[in-house]
Amino acid sequence: MRVQERRRFLPTEVADDHRHDAPLPIGFGQTNSQPSTVADMMTLLEPFPGMRVLDVGSGSGWTAAILGELGGPESAVFAVELVPELVERSRAAITQPWVRVHRARPGVLGLPEFAPFDRILVSAMADALPSELVDQLGADGLMVAPWRDVMHRVRLTRGEPEVTDHGGYRFVPLLHTRFRPAQ
């Protein structure tokens, strides 16, 4: 996380707050998650060198860059974001060629055309287990995702999801329909 300095992924008006352990606004009703939450999620995700990983709701691109750092150049990191302006900003901030930011298609959760993934990180709150993403996990894959105000880890074992709870968290809502800026 130190190598991928948070400041680089923040709008100038909040960049000086990059060391605060708090979510910071990045525009369009979205936030850059607080560092302690990102650290918890990365630990639960069990990243490894050479992994194929999907970052859903990539926002500023910071978590995708961290995943790229943890996976190294042998990895393939696919970030997906619905807000076009955030897609462009995160593409400009990410320097690793093995980390690619994709614009989400309305009504499609994740990037099924690039599946299967070893790991999936979801940085927005769903209403329930996002089964469309479970379907994008490879054999023995692992997903970390919040829903109903609880962080969950979903591990595929012999094709069956095993879900464990890992405490209460707050996130912006998971969007997978046409994006409309907050009024």
Q: Which residues are catalytic?
A: 33
Cα 36 to Cα 182: distance, rounded to the nearest angstrom? 27
How far apart are the C-alpha atoms of 22 and 166, rounded to whole Å?
19
Percent helix / strand / coil, the chain, rounded to 5: 25, 35, 45
Q: How far is CA 152 from CA 2, 83, 132, in A?
A: 25, 25, 15
Beta bridge partners of 152: 145, 165
d(CA 94, CA 72): 14
CA 47 – CA 53 distance, rounded (Å): 9
Nearest to 141 by CA among 64, 71, 46: 46
Q: What is the dihedral of CA 11, 103, 54, 135, to 10 degrees?
A: 140
